[in-house]
Amino acid sequence: MLRSAARLGVLRPPRGLQVGGRDVGGDVGHRFRPREVVLKPIDQATEKALRYRQWVEQRREYVAKASGGRLGYVHMFDMSAAALSQLNVDLDAENHTRQGVVIDVRNNNGGFVNVYAIDVFARRGYFNMLSRGFPSVSSRSQLGQRALELPTILVTNQHSLSDAEDFTEGYRTLKLGKVVGEPTAGWIIYTGGATLIDGSVLRIPGTKIFASDGTPMEMHPRPVDVPVTRPVGESYTSKDVQLDAAVAELLKQIATSGSKTTAGSR
């Protein structure tokens, strides 16, 4: 049976003709000796986690470059205990040496740790400690309590939902900084599972969430201060207009306050 290409008269091109004007054959060259390489396969979940961390580091480099090295960057994948631990790791010495930090909760599908994450950004120092041979630092950091104590800005999108919306509401209500990007999803209600007689499981709403002004948060997305929508297809490029806007706003805030805020200076 002839293949489609053959029926159409498309001929297979000859293999290995010339490279740089020199005839080449179909044999493997002998410039390198063969060697054995041991490969350790990883599962799909591990690969996904590695790709995510690569994405985070790319965003961190993006913010550092866009801000001239003045701003740091953190992203919370979700609102799980693991994500909270990773947040504490990411708020490392590099971010503590910046003048401000961009907080990114885009595509964060929620969890349950919003109050603990908010505390890290809301805590303020009230005295400093100077140990012999060391620089002066905020008492909170000196005593091991997580507290960034730097100006911040929050980036959200329509895929920030559930507990990520609780986090956004806390950030807004406590006036920790501006919110940039797109309003959140408006999907915030606590549900539980109920097993039916046939063994199927049904999700049943159990707790309704209200903003501090009494507005139900379900079906009411958390608004932004600076609306910025990424153009279709931009995620496949190296450009991120939402991060650009966040960087510009936070640098403006720092310039307006006239301070190079450091831990314990507020």
Instruction: Residues 45-257: name the CATH superfamily.
Output: 2-enoyl-CoA Hydratase; Chain A, domain 1 (3.90.226.10)
d(CA 184, CA 159): 6
Digit-coded pLDDT (tens) for 140-178? 877 778 889 999 999 999 999 999 999 999 999 999 999
Mean pLDDT of the chain: 88
Q: How confident is the model at residue 265 (pLDDT cuts 50, 70, 90)?
A: very low
Which of 54, 55, 120, 60 has the alpha carbon at shortest distance from 84? Answer: 120
Of 266 and 226, the structure prediction assigns the larger pLDDT to 226
Digit-coded pLDDT (tens) for 76-126? 999 999 999 999 999 987 888 899 999 999 999 999 999 999 999 999 888
Contact 170, 121 (CB under 8 A): no
pLDDT, residue 264, reads 36
**What distances in angstroms separate CA 79 from CA 20, 44, 86, 141, one per listed residue?**
57, 22, 11, 23
Neighbour count for residue 98 (Cβ, 10 Å)? 22
Contact 218, 187 (CB under 8 A): yes
Buried b vs exposed e over 231-263: b needs ≥16 C-beta within 10 Å?
A: eeeeeeeeebebbebbbebbbebbeeeeeebbb
Q: Which residues make Cβ contacts (< 8 Å) with residue 26, sequence separation at least 6?
A: 15, 16
**What distances in angstroms separate CA 228 from CA 107, 115, 233, one per listed residue?**
15, 26, 15
Two tokens at 257? 């306050």
Delimit the domains of the chain by residue range.
45-257
Pairing status of strand 152-156 against strand 100-104: parallel
Digit-coded pLDDT (tens) for 176-198? 999 999 999 999 988 888 999 99
pTM for the whole structure? 0.80
